Structure 1
């Protein structure tokens, strides 16, 4: 394919530079830049993005295509239809390198039209490096770069209150906006910047915490030749993502108007506390993955889509979510039910081949963080243990014994936990005692699970059924 995607300014004119974005990766381009592009098309949002690449990864800049790229959105839509929707994203004006072009990055601080700061610098990006200095060009850490940038803006505009910025960090850590603000203040204090600047950071700027949700698979290299033909051009920066997306922003209600959400109702929620939404995502989406993996894998299935299209696994998952997880989550039930439906639909996405063994990494730790809170809450509310969660826990124990029929199961977790299973594997004639040891690992679970109602008896019974009848028949016993 000889024709390449290039920017025709008459068709895609650059927009006013209102957004600076730290991070050039696939996720931001298929998530937030895609949303800004929709706002530009359907409202008077009219915002252009300058991307700053925090670390020079050596690949070409988006500038070689004039900032244009294609977001290919594929999956199952709200009415159950399989869709594939390419969209040329024109919200990005240019890309700068933090290392090599930092003078141009700092010049953006002087732009009176700048309003937003977006970032995704990985979970480790929002960190504090005590060796960073104000004179570094640039400093190492992302919060140090932000502090230097804000200080330059503060000085240039003489501390004007209307020149503060709105921060939308997308790093996957709890309360990412609050953590970023905390480190900016810490740098300001360490660098002995003025109290007036620190006050301006706190009052003129808005640091929002966020929760982001979209599966982005990136550049579809295995399909690119066929896609070139379908699109009629070649795009070196094409990025593929699922249809579903959710952007939850903890911030003031005026952000609804600022983002023109009444004019273009995107799946963006402005909330006062992000915690329930995180619990919903962890409990329903991540929890469903973790609960399903050992059950489906031991039943002979290999991918998420195969699993949710299997009638028995699908029924197990529905019962687990409807009867044991959703009832103990502290959110509006209708919202939880709608989210559950969207999750099951996402699991069925024919364009995503998600292997169960990939999700299975560190499953013992994942069960503790994603499902154990729901199990404990269920026991507290009902006085008895949840049978589907206990079945999943029994399957998890069986999974960690390391065999699917004659096939070795690849296991990856904390070595101390794997060592325990090595011992239990050798004592295979005494599973009841082994399971008691498994459930009583208070150093791992944070609680002795044998003390919770009838957890031990249900897990032991479920394990016995799995071993003697097989997973499929054991599921029918539920």
Structure 2
């Protein structure tokens, strides 16, 4: 079998490097680089990516061995049909490990064609580290490394306004662009860098807040031999992902013009404010996951796909989404319904094995963040309570009893929360249990028993679940 490289694939370098990418992991390669590859094919973007390894340990050496080439395998459901697509990604020009050659890393800043910095260095990656005392050697943190690179670029081009960059972080934190900007300015102050550098960073570099959404399971180790036989190459960097993708970028028109994803039929949206899109994702996608888990688990289902295809659980979550969550959101109805339908197809993906019990991690805090806002907004707008979302809460309370039909439920939450439920389930009645849980301000940041009818409805649903458990045991 042939080794995958640019000679065996007959793919010479074709584009200038416009993107510096911090991170070589599965997500960036299965999402951002896949998008850039399509931009080169479908638009006049004409740009390649240079990857920087952000941590001491990484896979830059594997990328170098394959000269930046690898395949993305998309598997899932789109438009009700099962889809499968293999694409050779050729937009990566080279990769650098700054831990091996700091000077070569800084030299990347001297590229006059460079326009973008894209990153995904984990949720903890965008943080100021006071232990980084200067730029004489490689800083430890990602923002420290980036500050050193920007300062080198500033000096090399004598502070030219047109040599500022568009910085588009993909780390999963809120306002990630603002957080990155804050960290870089903190380093500029910490290192006593010139005031004109700080002004250049603030005035001529655009820090964009983003929202990313695609499930990327990564290397398909279970069937990689079959995939390599199909490809005819020994590709050790294959990335498996779902077909769905969404990238929302909060940025001015100048960034949109430089990154013409709107011309490539891609789900990349440039917006003035991504807050409604973040709310949509949290409430519909994440909220549906969280609401579904206890209901489906107590019905004996164990995976998301089983649950969504089950007549009872599937109907429950569809009605919860379309009748109780969507009415609380402010984006156009058509957009909300399309996103909801995409979510349901993603839940049905036969190529992703997503266990309900794994999603149940820290379900109390997840319910507070992902589901409770829909409950409260529905009550505010409709003057009534959403029955299915409260049915989910009742199922969650029963789930945290830690036992169902004589079987132990492997709960995974903080010791304080587990201890609370162990104690509260010593109470005599369902109503007492519900009242104790709903009144816990540590859980919900408010006393939910103060909402008229809230505790009674949850208690009624809990009692119905307990009756169903008894009938199952008798049968």
Short-chain TM bin:
over 0.9
Instruction: Please identify, of 297-306 and 315-324, the stretch whose mean Cα deviation from structure 2 is larger.
Output: 315-324
The corresponding residue for 1:62 is 63
The corresponding residue for 2:36 is 36
1:4 to 2:3 alignment: yes
- Relative to structure 1, the CA distance from residue 384 to residue 469 in structure 2 (aligned partners, 3 Å threshold; closer, same or farther) is same
**Is contact 2:49–2:92 with CA below 8 Å preserved after alignment?**
yes
The corresponding residue for 2:461 is 462
Q: Mapping of 1:254-269 within 5 angstroms?
A: 254-269=254-269
Q: Mapping of 1:178-189 within 5 angstroms?
A: 178-189=178-189
Shift of 1:254: 2.9
CA deviation string 1:201-237 (max 9, x = no partner): 0111111010000000000101112212222222100
The corresponding residue for 2:77 is 76
Shift of 1:433: 0.8
Shift of 1:262: 4.5
**Is contact 1:70–1:239 with CA below 8 Å preserved after alignment?**
yes
Q: Mapping of 1:353-392 within 5 angstroms?
A: 353-392=353-392
1:199 to 2:202 alignment: no
CA deviation string 1:308-362 (max 9, x = no partner): 0011111111111112111111222211111000000100001000000000000
**Is contact 1:307–1:313 with CA below 8 Å preserved after alignment?**
yes
Q: Distance in 2 between matches of 1:374 and 1:426?
A: 30
The corresponding residue for 1:417 is 417
**Is contact 1:298–1:471 with CA below 8 Å preserved after alignment?**
no
The corresponding residue for 1:244 is 244
**Is contact 2:109–2:152 with CA below 8 Å preserved after alignment?**
yes
CA deviation string 1:230-260 (max 9, x = no partner): 2222210000000000000000023332122
Using the size of structure 2 for normalisation, the TM-score is 0.96
Shift of 1:6: 1.8
Alpha-carbon RMSD = 1.6
1:117 to 2:122 alignment: no
**Is contact 1:384–1:453 with CA below 8 Å preserved after alignment?**
no
Q: Mapping of 1:264-343 within 5 angstroms?
A: 264-343=264-343
Shift of 1:32: 0.4
**Is contact 1:218–1:238 with CA below 8 Å preserved after alignment?**
yes
Shift of 1:472: 11
The corresponding residue for 1:148 is 148
Q: Distance in 1 between matches of 2:193 and 2:34?
A: 37
**Is contact 2:16–2:113 with CA below 8 Å preserved after alignment?**
yes
Shift of 1:167: 0.6
User: Aligned to 2:263, what secondary structure does the other structure show?
Assistant: coil
Shift of 1:470: 4.5
Task: Give the gaps of 5 or more residues in structure 1.
Answer: 474-478
- Relative to structure 1, the CA distance from residue 61 to residue 227 in structure 2 (aligned partners, 3 Å threshold; closer, same or farther) is closer
The corresponding residue for 1:128 is 128
- Relative to structure 1, the CA distance from residue 368 to residue 472 in structure 2 (aligned partners, 3 Å threshold; closer, same or farther) is farther
**Is contact 1:299–1:470 with CA below 8 Å preserved after alignment?**
no
**Is contact 2:405–2:469 with CA below 8 Å preserved after alignment?**
no
Using the size of structure 1 for normalisation, the TM-score is 0.96
**Is contact 1:450–1:456 with CA below 8 Å preserved after alignment?**
yes
Q: Distance in 2 between matches of 1:134 and 1:450?
A: 54
The corresponding residue for 2:443 is 444
**Is contact 1:12–1:90 with CA below 8 Å preserved after alignment?**
no
Shift of 1:469: 2.2
Shift of 1:288: 0.2
Q: Distance in 2 between matches of 1:42 and 1:12?
A: 18
Matched residues, number: 470
CA deviation string 1:421-475 (max 9, x = no partner): 1112333x322211110111012200111111211111100011111025999xx
Q: Distance in 2 between matches of 1:392 and 1:136?
A: 55
- Relative to structure 1, the CA distance from residue 194 to residue 472 in structure 2 (aligned partners, 3 Å threshold; closer, same or farther) is farther
Q: Mapping of 1:228-239 within 5 angstroms?
A: 228-239=228-239
